[in-house]
Amino acid sequence: FVRMPLISAFYGICFMAAAIGIVLLVQWQGTHLVVMPSLIVYMLIGPFLALGLYDASWERERGHKASLFHSMKAIGRNSTSQ
């Protein structure tokens, strides 16, 4: 977090916003039937958000300046097209 505060804060806020959104969705629906699918979606969001952090760390390790835009593109980028 100290070396890349913008990138770390962005992904932390995204993860927090997803949690708040899911809680609001469950309250809005008013039924317990959406709890399990919501938890599954939340668990699937985590690895995608972590991918951006991994990419930023990898760029920094290679000696490049990590950027938020580059780390966001990592989610859609295929590992064979580097």
Residue 82 lies in a domain: no
Residue 9 lies in a domain: yes
Residue 49 lies in a domain: yes
For the chain, 82 residues long, give each residue's pLDDT as a single digit of tens: 678 899 999 999 999 999 999 889 888 888 888 888 888 988 988 888 888 889 899 998 999 988 889 888 887 775 555 5
Range of the domain at 23: 5-76
Residue 21 lies in a domain: yes
- pLDDT, residue 62, reads 92
- pLDDT, residue 78, reads 56
Residue 35 lies in a domain: yes
- pLDDT, residue 15, reads 92
Residue 81 lies in a domain: no
- pLDDT, residue 9, reads 94
User: CA distances (Å), 64 to each of 2, 20, 55, 59, in order?
Assistant: 17, 34, 11, 5
Number of structural domains found in the chain: 1
